[in-house]
Structure 1
Amino acid sequence: NVQVPGLVIYDEDFYSRFDTLPDLIEHKANWQAVRLTPTRGLPHWERLPETAEILQNFWQSQS
């Protein structure tokens, strides 16, 4: 059982499914999910400025 904050940045991916992600996030008060479109699974390569902003907002919300 993970107690640390978690962040999932996702979109459509050929190798992963995210259909159960809302249920997971609902039961984890310190977890967040952010959909970043279009990224096809590599947001840090495809949309770096937006990914950095999402990460910055996440870390700021933890302090």
Structure 2
Amino acid sequence: MDVKRAMDIFNDKATIAVQLDGEDPVWIEHVDEVHGMATVQVGSRPTNTHTVSVDRLAEVEKL
């Protein structure tokens, strides 16, 4: 995913499914546009957050 799409998802009022490394579902909590990083919540625990490159995020295609 690129930084622009990560920002679009973060700012969207709709729920858009995103995965980290193609596996774990995540919620985007913050996007650092300058450094191309995003802070994400992994799973349903608010304390389980990671800061990762937006390159590791992928939007889940709707069927």
| TM bracket (short chain) | under 0.3
How high is the TM-score relative to the length of structure 1?
0.24
Question: Counting helix residues as a fraction of each chain, which structure ranks higher?
Answer: 1
Question: Counting strand residues as a fraction of each chain, which structure ranks higher?
Answer: 2
How high is the TM-score relative to the length of structure 2?
0.24
